[in-house]
A and B are shown apart, each in its own frame.
Chain A
Amino acid sequence: MAPDTGDQGAPAVNLTGGPLACELDGITMSFGANEVLKGVTLGLPVGHVTALLGANGAGKSTLIKVLSGVYPEHGGEVRVAGTPVEMESPLAAARHGIQTVHQRIDENIVPGLTVAENLVFEEIVRGEVPTVRSLRKLLPRAREIARTLDLDWSDSVLTRDVFELGIADSQMLLLARALVQRPKVLVLDEPTSTLSAGEVDRLFALIRRLRDDGVAVLYVTHRLSEVAALADDIVVLRDGAISAAQQRPFDMEQAIRSMLGESLATHHDLVEQRGSATAVELRGVQLLKRSDPLDLDLRYGEVTGIVGLIGSGKSELARGVFGADPLRAGTMTLDGKPYAPRHTSQAVGAGVYLVPEDRAAESMLPGWSLTWTSTLPFLRSVASWGLLRRARERATGTAVLEDFGVVATGPGQAVDSLSGGNQQKVVVGRWMHAGPRVLLLDEPFRGVDIGARGDISHRARAQASEGACVVVFSSDVEEIREIADRILVLVEGHIKLDAYTSEVGNDAIVTSMSEVA
């Protein structure tokens, strides 16, 4: 579908003229001395998809929260259809026709309730549903809401605990919940980060339909391919202010430059490294319930990229090698010796490290400093006879901070107060600092800005050239091509392709990914 803006009497692409669904005028927001938004002025035209780009820490999340009524104390003015409104609460935002689908799903769905109850959750909160409610009575309404998104959910799905839905369907649930309110403005914060390719297509088709119906969409993303496919306009947020605005046709190079300022991501040409010695040898390993055994050798001295969508078994593979979850079947060797970690501590002891997929849930310890987070897996090395040596601890924290150029006030800063890219640098850096034999990175670029992505990629390649076996798992082909020497495609627990990066084109990869197992 061509993003032709001339049909349906939609206004010309113009960021300030034409009918605007919503205007932000000089929006400011500070946290203490930290001025995060420094006067953002932006109009969201009716029937347009406006892509909001920005590196981590640029202020995107804060801007979204202002728009969704989370920060009523913001400065500046928000106008809806020309009328100034107070964004004093999320309910007020909803009343003004602004709906937001936030990135973090787990903060917005309520486990323990059924799918149906989650679908009608807004109405339950507003007290429009009787306190003593029967599931039967909710079902028709829930069905109706699910249908706004063409979600073909049977009653047995609707009455299940929402916990069983999985990430992608939970995302669709939240979207359905937002859409049933018939918003004039829809804010989507990285909605595709957990979706498979098919689901992304479904989502995009839906967004285009909404746009054609006159909804103003603010689409926040890191992925330029999505911008190219979907957006009518681009605005770039940098350092708390709009640094660039573009209309079609887009100049992506220019957009990236305005995002990153002077520190443009360096296009280091990949010099392919080929490993020789086998680090981990998997034999007869079964990843999924219904998949055949596979054999795989992971080699030292190269970066192996494993491409797979959700459900391909890539996380099972990563966690199995790390001993976090047992493999369903099969054996492994490490350096030719039998290797069967029953616990992650055995893997860590053997020099096999994993950076897990979900940073917030699986890597971060609330309130823990950079130093504490860095030394956690290797406490013994900063202690003697069980006594922690503070100087040694601090030295490790400082080394991780400096090696990776983490933007932080010092090694004592809490990791969860850093931006996403810097958090990821810490959780990747702590393993790299220890000199891994095998380093497994599961979706290392999720929620990470382009600058940090370049740094992590560069460091991972350097580790491999120093002899480590680095394995990167991702659902993004471009990401994998950027970092990997060797590419494997995993589909439903089967290896569909195994080739060196220079020997295989994008088409071949995509084709193999779409093969049915």
Chain B
Amino acid sequence: MTGQLSETTTLTRIQDWVVKYGFIAVTVGLFVYFAITEPAFATSSSLFSMLKFASVTAILGLGVTFTMVVGGLDLSIGATAGLAVQLAAMTMVFYNLTGPTAVVAVLLGGLVVGLLNALLIVVFRIPDLLATLGMMFVIQGAKLIPVDGQSVSSGMVLRDGSVAPGSFTPDFLKIDRGFIGPVPLPVVIMLALVALSWFVLSRTTWGRLMYAVGANPEAARLAGVRVGFYHGLAYVISALLASVGGLILVSRIGQGDVNAGSSSLLEAVAVALVGTSVLGMGKPNAWGTLLGALLVGIVLTGLTMKGMQYYHQDTAKGLVVIVALLFSFTLSRKKLRYTPAT
């Protein structure tokens, strides 16, 4: 008998409910609270700015979700987003090339990072966490070299004393500032990527096989699954998603800030982790990750409206993440796993 303990007393039933819906309840509850106490909160413009704010975290969180599905974790995701920021800035400012070229350069950069991660993990068999931790430092360090540690902005003086020839193009800045109808473009990109990720993970053979690799790699291999391919694929997808997140970020800040992206790692990991327990899914999934990112967005927007200083943001974020993780780990009677429960 391997049946799990599941006595259905009232208490445990409440506990199960809290684990399944508590997170959503908290999100909705906070939303209602802010909407009532801050009239400006529930206006469409502030809602959209909140979603816009959540988009980078959500997209990076999707990348982490893919790597968690295969039983790993991509720690280089923030650094990859930072690399995207700098690649975009360099393409346009140093080389005076077009916005679309910058987008291509950024995606190629992400592809290279993803392939390198896959190489280290699958071919050289370095544990996921360590390989991507190493990559994180390599990327963060290496990107400082061509810019002498300086942030890239238009009009900056280059090594040879000349002034940088280019600047951020208007079409590139539209990535963050554009709209489709009333909806900001980053929000559209976020929703599209969430839907696409959900589709790939739960409706395609790729997604199923990635879950299989995460659930038991040896059993997957002995069922004829090319474990290495799907394991590596998750890291390539993760790096590409990180690059898209980086594109939105650099379009928002309008310069190649050397520190951009690095702070988003923990948030991205946290929202993906939180997402595993939403609705009692017990596995990493795209909609859960989105919901996690939204909660962080609601709290930060709400508190900012209530007059919270910017330097309180990290504390607030951290607390939100810890509370959310209490739902997943402490209250959940199901052992949280990265693998699906059907």
Q: How far is the CA of A418 from the CA of B4 in the complex (A)?
A: 11
Is B204 touching A388 in the complex (CB atoms < 8 A)?
A: yes
Instruction: Report if A367 contacts B (CB, 8 A).
Output: yes
DSSP majority for the A interface? Answer: mixed
Q: How far is the CA of A36 from the CA of B2 in the complex (A)?
A: 11
**CB-nearest residue of chain A to B204:** A386
Is B216 touching A364 in the complex (CB atoms < 8 A)?
A: yes
Is A61 touching B224 in the complex (CB atoms < 8 A)?
A: no
Contact with A along B325-342 (1 / 0, CB 8 A): 000000000000101111
Instruction: Report if B203 contacts A (CB, 8 A).
Output: yes
Q: What is the distance, in angstroms, from B19's C-beta to the closest C-beta of chain A?
A: 16
Instruction: Report if A383 contacts B (CB, 8 A).
Output: yes
Q: What is the distance, in angstroms, from B320's C-beta to the closest C-beta of chain A?
A: 28
Residues of B within 8 A of A349 (CB): 224
Is A363 touching B204 in the complex (CB atoms < 8 A)?
A: no
Q: What is the distance, in angstroms, from A426's C-beta to the closest C-beta of chain B?
A: 12
Q: How far is the CA of A33 from the CA of B6 in the complex (A)?
A: 9
Choice from B8, B208, B222, B339 contacting A379 with Cβ under 8 Å: B208
Known A36-B1, A376-B220, A376-B225: A367·B204 in contact at CB below 8 Å: no
Interface centre among A31, A324, A365, A412 (most CB of B within 10 A): A365
**CB-nearest residue of chain B to A71:** B5
Q: How far is the CA of A14 from the CA of B337 in the complex (A)?
A: 49
Q: How far is the CA of A419 from the CA of B209 in the complex (A)?
A: 25
Known A365-B212, A372-B342, A386-B205: A344·B1 in contact at CB below 8 Å: no
Q: How far is the CA of A388 from the CA of B8 in the complex (A)?
A: 35
Is B204 touching A383 in the complex (CB atoms < 8 A)?
A: yes
Q: What is the distance, in angstroms, from B244's C-beta to the closest C-beta of chain A?
A: 22
Q: What is the distance, in angstroms, from B202's C-beta to the closest C-beta of chain A?
A: 8
Instruction: Report if B7 contacts A (CB, 8 A).
Output: yes
Is B222 touching A363 in the complex (CB atoms < 8 A)?
A: yes
Is A388 touching B208 in the complex (CB atoms < 8 A)?
A: yes
Known A363-B219, A364-B216, A368-B340: A388·B205 in contact at CB below 8 Å: yes
Q: What is the distance, in angstroms, from B274's C-beta to the closest C-beta of chain A?
A: 19
Residues of A within 8 A of B4 (CB): 31, 417
Choice from B215, B218, B224 contacting A348 with Cβ under 8 Å: B224
Choice from B8, B225, B342 contacting A345 with Cβ under 8 Å: B225
Instruction: Report if B137 contacts A (CB, 8 A).
Output: no
Is A366 touching B337 in the complex (CB atoms < 8 A)?
A: yes
Q: How far is the CA of A364 from the CA of B341 in the complex (A)?
A: 13
Instruction: Report if B282 contacts A (CB, 8 A).
Output: yes
Stretch touching chain B among A83-91, A224-232, A277-285, A354-362: A354-362
Choice from B206, B222, B282 contacting A362 with Cβ under 8 Å: B222
Residues of B within 8 A of A363 (CB): 219, 222-223
Is B218 touching A361 in the complex (CB atoms < 8 A)?
A: yes
Residues of B within 8 A of A379 (CB): 205, 208-209
Instruction: Report if A369 contacts B (CB, 8 A).
Output: yes
Instruction: Report if B3 contacts A (CB, 8 A).
Output: yes
Choice from A30, A354, A383 contacting B222 with Cβ under 8 Å: A354
Q: How far is the CA of A354 from the CA of B225 in the complex (A)?
A: 13
Contact with B along A37-77 (1 / 0, CB 8 A): 00000000000000000000101011000000000010000
Is B209 touching A362 in the complex (CB atoms < 8 A)?
A: no
Choice from A31, A354, A369 contacting B3 with Cβ under 8 Å: A31
Is A344 touching B224 in the complex (CB atoms < 8 A)?
A: yes
Residues of B within 8 A of A366 (CB): 215-216, 337, 339
Is B205 touching A414 in the complex (CB atoms < 8 A)?
A: no
Is A414 touching B224 in the complex (CB atoms < 8 A)?
A: no
The residues in A between 365 and 394 inclusive whose CB is less than 8 angstroms from any CB of B are 365-369, 372, 376-377, 379-380, 383, 386-388
Q: How far is the CA of A32 from the CA of B13 in the complex (A)?
A: 12
Is B220 touching A365 in the complex (CB atoms < 8 A)?
A: yes
Q: How far is the CA of A59 from the CA of B2 in the complex (A)?
A: 10
Choice from B1, B223, B337 contacting A61 with Cβ under 8 Å: B1
Is A365 touching B339 in the complex (CB atoms < 8 A)?
A: yes
Q: How far is the CA of A159 from the CA of B1 in the complex (A)?
A: 36
> On chain B, which size bracket covers the interface?
20 to 34
Is B205 touching A383 in the complex (CB atoms < 8 A)?
A: yes
The residues in B between 1 and 32 inclusive whose CB is less than 8 angstroms from any CB of A are 1-8
Residues of B within 8 A of A33 (CB): 8
Q: How far is the CA of A297 from the CA of B336 in the complex (A)?
A: 48
Is B203 touching A324 in the complex (CB atoms < 8 A)?
A: no
Choice from A31, A344, A345 contacting B5 with Cβ under 8 Å: A31
Instruction: Report if B221 contacts A (CB, 8 A).
Output: yes
Q: What is the distance, in angstroms, from A201's C-beta to the closest C-beta of chain B?
A: 31
Is A376 touching B223 in the complex (CB atoms < 8 A)?
A: yes
Is B204 touching A365 in the complex (CB atoms < 8 A)?
A: no
Residues of A within 8 A of B282 (CB): 367
Is B3 touching A34 in the complex (CB atoms < 8 A)?
A: yes
Is B224 touching A345 in the complex (CB atoms < 8 A)?
A: yes
Q: How far is the CA of A62 from the CA of B222 in the complex (A)?
A: 30
Residues of B within 8 A of A356 (CB): 222
Q: What is the distance, in angstroms, from B112's C-beta to the closest C-beta of chain A?
A: 25
Q: What is the distance, in angstroms, from A495's C-beta to the closest C-beta of chain B?
A: 25
Q: What is the distance, in angstroms, from B5's C-beta to the closest C-beta of chain A?
A: 6
Is B7 touching A32 in the complex (CB atoms < 8 A)?
A: yes
Q: What is the distance, in angstroms, from A59's C-beta to the closest C-beta of chain B?
A: 6
**CB-nearest residue of chain A to B217:** A365
Instruction: Report if A416 contacts B (CB, 8 A).
Output: yes
Q: How far is the CA of A36 from the CA of B226 in the complex (A)?
A: 40
Q: What is the distance, in angstroms, from A437's C-beta to the closest C-beta of chain B?
A: 14
The residues in A between 289 and 345 inclusive whose CB is less than 8 angstroms from any CB of B are 322, 324, 343-345
Q: What is the distance, in angstroms, from A211's C-beta to the closest C-beta of chain B?
A: 28
Residues of A within 8 A of B216 (CB): 361, 364-366
Instruction: Report if A93 contacts B (CB, 8 A).
Output: no
Residues of B within 8 A of A36 (CB): 1, 3
Known A348-B224, A367-B341: A372·B208 in contact at CB below 8 Å: yes
Q: How far is the CA of A369 from the CA of B340 in the complex (A)?
A: 9
Instruction: Report if A347 contacts B (CB, 8 A).
Output: yes
Q: Nearest 10 A-B pairs (CB), nearest first?
A: A348-B224, A365-B215, A369-B342, A377-B223, A367-B341, A32-B6, A379-B205, A345-B224, A31-B3, A376-B223
19 A-B pairs whose Cβ atoms sit less than 8 Å apart in the complex: A31-B4, A31-B5, A31-B7, A32-B7, A59-B1, A61-B1, A322-B222, A324-B221, A354-B222, A363-B219, A364-B219, A365-B220, A366-B337, A367-B337, A367-B339, A376-B225, A386-B205, A417-B2, A417-B3
**Chain A residues in the interface with B (C-beta under 8 A):** 30-34, 36, 57, 59, 61-62, 73, 322, 324, 343-345, 347-349, 354, 356, 361-369, 372, 376-377, 379-380, 383, 386-388, 412, 414, 416-419
Instruction: Other than A34-B3, A59-B1, give 18 A-B pairs with Cβ distance below 8 A.
Output: A31-B4, A33-B8, A36-B1, A36-B3, A73-B7, A343-B226, A362-B218, A365-B339, A366-B337, A368-B212, A368-B342, A376-B220, A383-B204, A387-B205, A388-B204, A417-B3, A419-B1, A419-B2
**Chain B residues in the interface with A (C-beta under 8 A):** 1-8, 203-206, 208-209, 212, 215-216, 218-226, 282, 337, 339-342
